[in-house]
């Protein structure tokens, strides 16, 4: 199993550009989520999904969109990038939704917005 | 909603000493408290977790204690080694855990000096 795979690992954007961060997991996990990590701020939840076709907002959803058309994939879209979105983004999944347990993280995607 | 405070933000110890990191939470309904370790440039990984029906859990050199009355939980690392150097994050469920989403503390950077 590859676990949770994120692409790209690094990306530089100009303000106003759009892009999609890809996340895929091969563990048949029901729950998937996106976090952003900024220095001194810990990990903050952006969006999450409890199953295919179901998504919801986390703590810091503004400026981001998500979709979950399959169990495996959970892409994060930035429609109009802003410098405040410069961060490291982590996708994470868990076996069951609505039940606490271990979160499996991807390797992260470092995004810089100029 | 839930709020998690983590202290200290940095901690430096000599190899072989013990390290203690403390987190407080606000939602008395929270029932699951994990700790994640993130080495430099790597993904966060679960090292230990505790549920509200127990007061302490140990795994070799690491232990977590939970005080539900005072609403705090702590990570204890004994006989520290250089490879324990990392950032440690505590977490607690958002919304009492109905969706299984986690809110993370801001992290503690532990440095173990040989």
- Please count the residues of chain A: 114
Helix (H, G, I), strand (E, B) or coil at B70: coil
When scoring A31, A54, A90, A100 by the number of chain B Cβ atoms within 10 A, the one with the most, hence best to mutate, is: A100
pLDDT at A41: 87
Q: Do B100 and A58 touch (CB under 8 A)?
A: no
CB atoms within 10 A of CB B91: 28
Contacts 24+ apart (CB under 8 A), A83-87: A83/A15, A83/A113, A83/A114, A84/A113, A85/A111, A85/A113, A86/A111, A86/A112, A86/A113, A87/A36, A87/A37, A87/A38, A87/A111
Backbone dihedral angles phi then psi of residue B83, each to the nearest 5 degrees: -70, -5
| Two tokens, residue B34 | 């994990």
**In this prediction, what percent of chain A has a pLDDT beyond 90?**
89
pLDDT at B46: 97
| Two tokens, residue B68 | 């539900």
Using a CB-CB cut-off of 8 Å, the residues of chain B touching A105 are 43-45
The average pLDDT across A30-54 equals 94
Q: Which tens digits make up the pLDDT trace of B91-111?
A: 998 875 567 799 999 999 999
Q: Assign A99 a pLDDT band (cuts: 50, 70, 90).
A: confident
Q: Tell me the shortest Cα–Cα distance from B49 to chain A, in angstroms.
A: 9
Q: Assign A32 a pLDDT band (cuts: 50, 70, 90).
A: very high
The average pLDDT across B80-86 equals 97
CA–CA dist A78, A65 (Å, integer): 7
Burial of B50 (0-12, 13-18, 19+ CB in 10 A): buried
Sign of the dihedral defined by the CA atoms of residues A102, B30, A37, A91, in that order: positive
Please give the full DSSP string across B28-65, using - where no structure is assigned.
TT--EEEEEEE-TTS--EEEEEEETT-SEEEETTEEEE
């Amino acid at each position: 199993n590859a676990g949770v795979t994120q692409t790209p690992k690094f990306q530089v954007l100009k303000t106003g550009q759009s892009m999609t961060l890809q996340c895929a997991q091969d563990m048949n996990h029901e729950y998937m989520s996106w976090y952003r990590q900024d220095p001194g701020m810990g990990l903050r939840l952006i969006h999450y999904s409890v199953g295919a076709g179901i998504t919801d907002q986390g703590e810091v959803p503004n400026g981001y969109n998500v979709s979950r058309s399959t169990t495996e994939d959970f892409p994060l879209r930035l429609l109009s990038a802003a410098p405040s979105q410069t961060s490291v983004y982590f996708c994470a999944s868990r076996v069951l939704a609505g039940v606490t347990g271990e979160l499996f993280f991807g390797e992260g995607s470092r995004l810089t917005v100029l | 909603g839930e709020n998690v405070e983590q202290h200290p933000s940095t901690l430096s110890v000599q190899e072989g000493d013990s390290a203690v990191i403390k987190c407080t939470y606000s939602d008395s309904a929270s029932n699951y408290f994990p700790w994640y370790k993130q080495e430099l440039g790597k993904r966060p990984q679960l090292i230990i977790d505790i549920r509200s029906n127990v007061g302490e859990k140990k795994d070799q050199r690491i232990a977590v204690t939970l005080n539900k009355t005072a609403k705090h939980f702590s990570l204890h690392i004994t006989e520290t080694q250089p490879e324990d150097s990392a950032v440690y994050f505590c977490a607690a469920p958002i919304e009492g855990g109905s969706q299984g989403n986690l809110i993370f503390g801001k992290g503690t950077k532990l440095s173990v000096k040989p």
